Amino acid sequence: MFRYPTPQRPTEAGYAIAGDRFAILLAGPAAEGLVSTVWDAAAADSSLLEDVLSVIVTAGIHALPDFAVVELAGTSPETLRVAARGEVTIETDAGAVIDGRDARTWTETSLSAVTGFRLVHVGAPEGVGLLPLGLGVARADELAWGRPAAQSPRAASTSTPAPTPAPPAPSLPDETDVLETLSIDRSLFARPLDDENLELPAFLSDDTGDIELPDDRTLLGGRRATPAPTPAVTYVFAVEPGRELPLDRPLVLGRGPRPARHPGARIEAVPSPAKEISGAPLEVRLDGEHLIARDLDSTNGTIVRPQDSQPLLLRGGATLRVPVGTRFDLGDGVTAVFQIAT
């Protein structure tokens, strides 16, 4: 059974959505149409987390509301797949907090052995009391399930942990010879070895066989310089202006790509007011120092402009391998470049 507190200002509160396998919190006065379609996705028997996220993202990345989505896998102990964006956080009874405030789109992860969680809009006024919610939608800024969470995200967002004192610097003894140098009287080597009065140093008087004596080329106590390691090069797909997308996994771009159709890929929606860009026209992935670009059977294709060759039209499911500096024109004024991270 889900629970939610009564908001102090219901008309300004968000929406708590409870389904058989989903708990969702949309922050703020989200559009009624979005709430309805999200509820339809959450109530569908075959829906996965990706399907719910696809519905939320239909308005575009720049119009995304702050939200939290929890998919219950239905096993015991509970295994959750969660996603959070902005000021809506997810806290479990074990003290884990999923926060999407630093993510460009949202934070997505999995949790195990969870017997209680709470979705909270951190910036909203705290509600009063707790009301039960079976399956349905309610105006609320918080939604809880199972055992109470161990810590309030609202308190956690304002508290500042005490700084950890730095450990004291290790002290050296008062008289420490950092570099001990061996001193040799070279006049010993200029005197005849059959001189009965010759007193050899101990390291020469031992019967140790052939000994390589120091000469003018010998470095005593020397240090060999270690070459500095070559810094690793990080490549990105920069969508202008100024968005550098990592290439740690395949990247799918388009007007409205559906995560469920591209498992394992990073999803990036781009604006297309004139709808010149298809829903998901382009996939790119890193291949060493090059980029593999693949058309996903788009309608208009993508113009590819390598630095040292003529522009090409990528369409019809074709694939290209391009070097650093190659530019991409997706249409509707959206351009990108394969480059080294700045």
CATH class assigned to 2-157: alpha beta
Mean pLDDT of 52-64: 79
**What is the tens place of the pLDDT at every residue in 310-326?**
899 999 899 999 999 99
Provide the mean pLDDT of the chain.
79
* Contact indicator for 97, 114 with CB cutoff of 8 Å: no
**What is the tens place of the pLDDT at every residue in 21-42?**
899 999 876 656 688 889 888 8
CATH code reported for the domain at 235-340: 2.60.200.20
- Binned at pLDDT 50, 70 and 90, residue 171 comes out as low
**Measured distance CA(134)–CA(258) in Å, rounded:** 29
* Contact indicator for 320, 293 with CB cutoff of 8 Å: yes
Residue by residue, DSSP assigns 190-240 as HS-TT-TT----HHHHS--S------TT--SS--PPPPPPPPPP-EEEEET
Residue 141 has pLDDT above 50, yes or no: yes
**Measured distance CA(71)–CA(50) in Å, rounded:** 10
Residue 53 has pLDDT above 60, yes or no: yes
**What is the tens place of the pLDDT at every residue in 248-258?**
999 999 999 98
pLDDT recorded at residue 209 = 54
**What is the tens place of the pLDDT at every residue in 93-130?**
888 899 888 887 889 888 888 888 999 998 888 888 88
Mean pLDDT of 291-320: 91
* Contact indicator for 298, 315 with CB cutoff of 8 Å: yes
Where are the CATH 3.60.40 domain residues in the chain?
2-157
pTM of the model: 0.46
**Measured distance CA(178)–CA(205) in Å, rounded:** 28
pLDDT recorded at residue 70 = 93
pLDDT recorded at residue 215 = 57
Where are the CATH 2.60.200.20 domain residues in the chain?
235-340
**Measured distance CA(300)–CA(314) in Å, rounded:** 9
E strand or H helix that includes residue 62? none
Range scoring the smallest mean pLDDT among 84-98, 121-135, 201-215, 327-341: 201-215
149 secondary structure, DSSP code: P
